[in-house]
Amino acid sequence: MKITASNLIRWAGLAAMGAGIIYVVIQPIHPPDVLSSVTTARWAIVHSFGVAMCFLGLLGIAGLYARQVKEAGWLGLAGYLLLSLFYALTLAFQFVEAFISPLLATEAPKLAEGILGLASRHASEVNLGVLAAVYKLTAIPYILGGLLFGIATFRAGILPRWAAGLLAVGAALTPAAALVPHPLDRIAAVPVGIALAWLGYALWWERREHASDGRGGLEDLTGAKVATFKVHHPASGRATKRGGSA
């Protein structure tokens, strides 16, 4: 398959759809944030999917932004950078919970419980240093990034505005989750996950339609349109097609 900007953006839409779906699905099946859960297969599966979600989210947000880079303006850029920061930081924490916490559960249970307390909002008996502060700060790029990117996408008018509005509203309402006891606060992730999956599907389907009608292959990796024009050959009386970058 020819690698074009259109194809890359299309697959990024599929990545965004996957990230959103995983984000929604892992909320109700997440095991309790207690030490006995950390060594279970369910814990490993959920947090391995969490690692995949963050990786797909990084790719998906990049594709969503690339599709509307001109129309989204500086607001879209700010939202894209903030959401990318959120996914990068969360990827690190998900990796720790998936592959390191199970080892700590037997070797250093107090430390494992301290890491669990980051999500469950329980005080830690172990000094986690800067780790606790960084975990709390991940909420800032998540809320601001989702809000700004949602507004920018709504204003750009290229992707579904209902999905963009849901992303902005879902991100803005996230602080209200602090009023709900854990783990019921996980429900706040559902609107954001649905919005991301919706935007990703719209991007993937749009590019799929372009590819099916022949328009998807008319871009190179620089995003330049490839113009097709006819050159008349006087000797043969026939016209042939030539291509060039516009």
pLDDT tens-place string over residues 154-198 = 999 999 999 999 999 999 999 998 888 877 889 999 999 999 999
Contact 171, 143 (CB under 8 A): yes
Least confident of 127-131, 151-155, 181-185, 230-234: 230-234
| Dihedrals phi, psi of 222, to nearest 5 degrees | -85, -10
What pLDDT, on the 0 to 100 scale, is given for residue 118?
Answer: 85
Q: Which are the contacts of 220, defined by CB distance < 8 A and separation ≥ 6?
A: 4, 5, 226, 245
Band (pLDDT 50/70/90 cuts) for residue 139 is very high
Asked if residue 230 has pLDDT above 80, the reply is no
Q: Could you tell me how many residues make up the chain?
A: 246
At residue 207, the pLDDT reads: 64
Confidence grade of residue 228 (pLDDT, cut at 50, 70, 90): very low
Closest CA to 24 of 56, 53, 58: 53
Rounded Cα–Cα distance for residues 168 and 166 (Å): 5
In terms of C-beta density within 10 A (0-12 exposed, 13-18 middle, 19 or more buried), how is residue 18 classed?
buried
pLDDT higher than 50, residue 208:
yes
Q: What is the pTM of this model?
A: 0.81
